[in-house]
Chains A and B, each alone.
Chain A
């Protein structure tokens, strides 16, 4: 089973409270904010490594793919150190400002190029369902649409249930609000995973050494052969406006002196509301 994983470098979600907007330019201040591989991308990579390298099966290979500024190259190295076999970074000024439509278009072009070069089709493309910065849940679905492949998101389990040699049957469990849906089929497909699908492995010292010998390829817009008006801000049907920190407009009165007074006050408010 050969798998491609979409990786997204994002500002460290644990440092969310340090995100600031520059009031003059109205843009997010990214300098000095540490970037990491988005948590759900890590889950996707872990799932890919487990599926492609399952004992008792012919080992497949895992490729990591990201569209990001070139300073994020170390996130691809990290993916290699985790165990991916190859990594691809799409980096070009022309990709800047892309919304999910342009991003997925660009990623799909890269997938086609990798598949053409390797003369194969990936059985699965895995990604996080939703990223911690944008949180749209679009990219996995839209990449699948550009590639005209099946997509399933919110997947909390992926298994290869058939242990007969050469079988590529995949069983996937998708979580929706009221039910768990179990799907079965063979690739190719694009699957968006959730945080609870697995616990991603840590990078080890041996992984870092092995990563040195693995290929990390950087492609520009020219390498992909995409028209500049299909990429980046130019290729984005959504355009951003102003950014602001949300106003909440509530009074924040502080009427109580002790926990007991607070409890009494809360009960009073509840009674008044007639609950």
Chain B
């Protein structure tokens, strides 16, 4: 058991951190303020190997694992959680294709997804409910080797920029009348398929979150990702292992931003003739943030290591639940440490709080995570 990064992972983290400092940090506040989605950075993310970090080399990826993927997301989110949302959602769709796609699908889509020329998306949530996946209403009917898809998805990240979206559709029923789903890939520009309203979000700004409208969209049967009827387990697995892990990594990045900014501010801000870092009350706040960060880090990378070994269970649920709540409280602590400065938009504390809160409903709310963790705990202990 080794809690330290390997030499390679350390190198990778330094490279991604340097990239984030140069390309993301100078613009993150503006992207948030203007809700501007920085599409021009996507090819650079491709060059760095971030877009396809876990995709096998033969398809243009870097062939690394999920620890490395989480490292990338943590480093991006440390400066821009909004951009990290675009990248993680892209990874969700890519993972579905890598894990369940046919050779033909992989050859067709993965290279562009790795070099940054094609952003991917995954669409599950509907106006009728997100937590209630089984209740989704988007329908796909197969006839003559063609799917006809009708429905609406909402709160979909990358809605307005994805080149390929993997959409979870209801495609039938099993012998007990329970719904069967399939995950079907739809390329942007397919007739009848288009993004609808774009949400104006409180946080995680600088990423597209919007509606997807499927109005008699016709795609070939060859666009089914994985076996037809297996859409539910495919969706749950990717959301569970890639989605939750990503949210945990993004929240970890936000947490680290809170920690670093809290320390920097405390050392600079002078009150009563000395920096406030000398005051115990501030020191206790910083200690709490630090412990939250270290515990979070261990939970996330432990879960990622287990996924790379193939043994992960509810660890990502635990990590996502714990880290997202820790990030929200750390952001609030940062605002308290910064006093008035924590409340003006010139400083990022408010953005961290908004972003941290925004991660909680994604890939399963804290309540959903607790249900999953309770279920696993009651079986195991």
Contacts and interface: CB of A to CB of B under 8 A. Distances in A.
The reply, when asked whether chain A contacts chain B directly with Cβ atoms under 8 A, is yes
A78 interface: yes
A78 B18 CA distance: 13
A208 B12 contact: yes
A181 B20 CA distance: 38
Nearest to B48: A204
B314 interface: no
Interface of A is mostly: helix
- Counting chain B CB atoms within 10 Å of each CB, which of A77, A205, A206, A209 scores highest? A205
Contact of B63 (A74, A203, A209): A209
Interface in A44-79: 73-74, 77-78
Contact of B49 (A77, A78, A205): A205
B63 A77 contact: no
Contacts, number: 49
Contacts of B12: 203, 205, 208
Interface string B6-35: 011011101100110010000000000000
A205 B64 contact: yes
A205 B48 contact: yes
B25 to A, nearest CB: 14
A205 B11 CA distance: 9
Contacts of A209: 57, 62-64
Contacts of B14: 203
A208 B8 contact: yes
Contacts of B15: 81, 202-205, 208
Contacts of B7: 73-74, 77
Nearest to A201: B47
A249 B48 CA distance: 50
Contacts of B67: none
Contacts of A202: 15, 18-19, 22, 48
Contact of B10 (A74, A204, A206): A74
A17 to B, nearest CB: 12
B53 interface: yes
B62 A77 contact: no
B68 interface: yes
Contacts of B22: 202
Interface in B23-70: 47-50, 53, 57, 62-64, 68
Contacts of B49: 204-207
Given A74-B7, A77-B7, A205 B68 contact: yes
Greatest chain B CB density within 10 A among A78, A81, A203 is at A203
A81 B62 CA distance: 12
B11 A81 contact: yes
B18 A208 contact: no
B66 to A, nearest CB: 13
Interface residues of A, number: 14
Contacts of B53: 205
How many interface residues does chain B have, given as a range?
A: 20 to 34
Nearest to A203: B15
Interface string A172-210: 000000000000000000000000000000111111110
Contacts of A212: 8
B63 A204 contact: no
A165 B333 CA distance: 65
A204 B60 CA distance: 13
Contacts of A77: 7-8, 11
B339 to A, nearest CB: 24
Nearest to A199: B22
A70 B10 CA distance: 17
User: Which of B8, B18, B68 has most A Cβ within 10 Å?
Assistant: B8
Interface string B66-97: 00100010000000000000000000000000
Contacts of A205: 12, 15, 48-50, 53, 62, 64, 68, 72
A207 B12 CA distance: 10
A81 B8 CA distance: 10
Contact of A78 (B11, B47, B57, B64): B11
Contacts of A208: 8, 11-12, 15, 62, 64
B72 to A, nearest CB: 8
A76 B50 CA distance: 23
A38 to B, nearest CB: 15
A205 B12 CA distance: 6
B10 to A, nearest CB: 7
Contacts of B68: 205
A74 B11 contact: yes
Nearest to B12: A208
A206 B115 CA distance: 11
Interface string A250-269: 00000000000000000000
A209 B57 CA distance: 9
Contacts of A206: 49, 57, 62
A205 B114 CA distance: 12
A10 to B, nearest CB: 15
A120 to B, nearest CB: 30
Contacts of B47: 204
20 contacts: A74-B11, A77-B8, A78-B11, A202-B48, A203-B11, A203-B12, A203-B14, A203-B15, A204-B15, A204-B47, A205-B12, A205-B50, A205-B68, A205-B72, A206-B49, A206-B57, A208-B11, A208-B15, A208-B64, A209-B57
Given A202-B22, A203-B14, A205-B68, 14 more contacts: A73-B7, A77-B7, A77-B8, A77-B11, A78-B11, A202-B18, A203-B11, A203-B15, A204-B15, A204-B62, A205-B49, A205-B72, A208-B15, A209-B57
Interface of B: 7-8, 10-12, 14-15, 18-19, 22, 47-50, 53, 57, 62-64, 68, 72
The 10 lowest CB-CB distance pairs between A and B, nearest first, are A205-B49, A205-B62, A203-B15, A204-B49, A206-B49, A204-B48, A74-B7, A206-B62, A205-B53, A202-B19
